[in-house]
Amino acid sequence: MYQEIQERLESEHQKGMREILTDLYITQQLGPSCSAQRLGIPRQVFLHFRNQFGLKQVKYQ
């Protein structure tokens, strides 16, 4: 499931998943719910990818 969502989003946005998440979560400073909503994915899926790429630690350094 996660792999399918990742492939779909990377194809739609023409960039890697980490870059997509960094743009929304770090650069635009959106929270998990708003980021997930913008991507059209469940919040839990966004949290999975956020944790996979270690972006929570990056955001709160």
Burial 18-27 (b: 16+ CB within 10 A, else e): eebbbebbee
pLDDT band at 1 (very low <50, low <70, confident <90, very high): very high
The structure's pTM equals 0.90
Q: What would the pLDDT profile of 7-51 be if each residue is shown by its tens digit? A: 999 999 999 999 999 999 999 999 999 999 999 999 999 999 999
The CA distance from 23 to 21, in Å, is 5
Task: Give residue 35's pLDDT.
Answer: 98
Q: What is the structure's pLDDT at 29?
A: 94
pLDDT at 61 (0 to 100):
79
pLDDT at 31: 95
